[in-house]
Amino acid sequence: MKLLHTSDWHLGRALTNTRNYDADHRHFFERLYGIIEKEKIDAVLIAGDVYDSSVSNAQAINLYNEVITKICLDMRIPAIVIAGNHDSGPRLASCRELLKGAGLYLYGRISADLSPVHIGDADIYALPYFSKEEVAALFPEKKDEISSASDAMKAVCDIIREKMDKSKRNILVSHSLVQNVELSDSDHSAQIGTASAISKDVFEGFDYVALGHIHKPQQVSDKIRYSGSPVKYSFGKEEKQEKGVVIIDTGDMSQEFVVIEELHGRRTVTGTYDEILAMKGLENDYLDIYVTDKVNASGFYAEFAEKFPYMIGLHGSDTKAAGDGKSISAVDVDKLDDYAILAGFMKDVFGEEPGEAERALFNLALEECDKEAAEN
């Protein structure tokens, strides 16, 4: 039997204030369907952070419904879905008993019932994101043993191990932070929550642990793995990561990471104004651009945006002083008024801000533009 492990979709995540990752996610899901068919997948494990926010927008919810309907109803493949720290557990798990009939197994909050989902030769235990306080309340007999997140996870896994059927392949799905894993810049909650990291040793006894929470695909041990996010959500280290899904064969417990090429790459680009404009092959990438020979980025933003339609950030040669206007992003540009753009251009080209004469000419130009727009 084959299982597919994926996580950290972050549906509804904003790319800028006017763009989202909807096209990137749809590109991933189309290839996901192809892998499910080609590899004859028997079940899909989704290890949390389905949504980017606990209050998801309509577009994200519609996409989730579309994907789960395709997998569970059209393809007739069961899916086990757990809530991550970004999800609203109760919202995600609504109608969970009803949806079991369609092959959708939802886990929004940890409960005292730690029964597995039986699929083929595997027993699959699903543990949504939880706190040590929740575990202590659910299992008061373990309360004195729990002083950390690692203790809480061990307590839960101990209970599972006591009733585990050793004749089956025992699979655990969890959304948690394991100690000493490699983080990406987009792993914000993990970076500030390292105190809640758990030891990999708490998972002893499981044949495979399908983890979510960390965006870089990586193997924690021979039986413990993060599938990673399907999309690169940050620059820096994440630029070089390959994204994809993990396939587990329960026959011999072999694992295969299947790379899924993204719709858009993500790159940091540094060079002079002329060098960057002459670069080829970047037109389809999300870019963070650093121009080394010009100061005020707002003065040439439009030109770069036309050349590189997926540019996210543009920085002048001196970006150290906060709020100096020498760095600009796609999020910022919509907030600039016409005079701010003029001032940036004049400062960069002529070394000084516009005076009254330049502002008067600029006003005339704006009026002509408005008239032309009204006539058309």
Crossing angle of the two packed helices 356-375 and 338-350, in degrees rounded to 10 = 130
pLDDT of residue 325: 42
Pairwise pLDDT comparison (264 vs 332), residue with the higher score: 264
Q: How large a percentage of the chain has pLDDT more than 70?
A: 87
Q: Given the DSSP bridges, would you call strands 79-82 and 104-107 parallel, antiparallel or unpaired? A: parallel
Report which DSSP code applies to 178.
Answer: B
Per-residue model confidence as pLDDT tens digits over 40-67: 999 999 999 999 999 889 999 999 999 9
**By C-alpha distance, which of 1, 8, 39 is closest to 218?**
8
- In the predicted model, is pLDDT for residue 79 greater than 90? yes
- Segments of 176-221 assigned E as strands: 208-212, 218-221
Mean pLDDT score, 246-274: 96
Least confident of 117-121, 272-276, 332-336: 332-336
- In the predicted model, is pLDDT for residue 256 greater than 80? yes
Structural domains in the chain?
2-259 (3.60.21.10), 266-375 (no CATH)
pTM over 0.95: no
Least confident of 87-96, 171-180, 338-347: 338-347
- In the predicted model, is pLDDT for residue 87 greater than 70? yes
Token pair belonging to 92:
């995600």
Where residue 323 falls among pLDDT bands split at 50, 70, 90? very low
Token pair belonging to 153:
């996870």
**Cβ atoms < 10 Å from Cβ of 372:** 9
